Structure 1
Amino acid sequence: MSTEVGSPVAGLTAALSDVPDPVFSQAMVGPGLAVKPSGGEGDAVAPVAGKVVTLHPHAFVVAADDGGAVLVHLGIDTVKLKGEGFTLHVAKGDVVEAGQKIITWNPTEIEAQGYSSICPVVALEAAAESLADLREDTQVLAGEHLFRLEA
């Protein structure tokens, strides 16, 4: 069984090792990719269809129907903003479709406040070998294929 994981934001894909945070760059929470978002206000969308099991203004986790869970983190250290600049469109426990709007934010504003806007997209509790068809160093639109998670 495999799950297609889409990009939560439009931008340029990058290896997790490019993320300026050791928890992500060393894949401590799981393997995945990162996306350097295009500037300006935009929406972060669900990378997979499933249930929103964790929801913060700066990050969310969607558990796919097949059991795999995907973490999206909007920027690095953005928890310090205490929700400022993030608008939530769903609630914890909601069932969402892949590509559904989850959070509106502005990566340009995040960077203006001194934070990195890079977005790690991580397959939680997955082995690195379970990721296939990774799209590194590629421009993607929100919702476009990032990688496939093999169960």
Structure 2
Amino acid sequence: MNKPEYWLRGPIPNISPFLQPAAHALLQSRAEIKKYTKDFSEDLLWEKPAGRASVAFHLQHITGVLDRMLTYAKKKSLTEQQFKYLRNEGVYNEEVKIADLINAFIEKVDDALQMFENTSEVILTEKRTVGRKKLPSSVIGLYFHAAEHSQRHVGQLLVTVSVLKRGSKS
């Protein structure tokens, strides 16, 4: 049975109406990543068609950005572990498996949804800063950027997966 996209499935319980679009986008990203990477060969994980980003990079980056945006929303600075993760996004590592990358994103989406549930509407417009330069944002801005950024990279991931799968059949 084909279900409609998440934004057409109604509200997600316990999440503010203001955060429903971000929650829907993250859930849609999670579903699409599972769908697009089904039966994807580990041998192609680090391939860069036309010099573009690999599937591994997209999966690492989506997870990393979501983690970083949630950290900034909590009004915290990134940890050394998060900086290390950032430095290693897209760096070839034969030990990295696609299932691990997908599971890491699923767990991070679950973390985000839990944060959304526990976020009072009162703080959504509170100022937050991003990065070492302390660029201005807000809680809702960080949540929405995490969601739209995930969707953007899922689209890029779909194209990369499609090209690689087609090329491997030649």
Q: Same fold (TM over 0.5)?
A: no
Question: Greater helix percent: which structure?
Answer: 2
Give me the TM-score of the superposition, normalised by structure 1: 0.31
Return the index of the structure with the highest Cα Rg. 2
Question: Greater strand percent: which structure?
Answer: 1
Give me the TM-score of the superposition, normalised by structure 2: 0.29
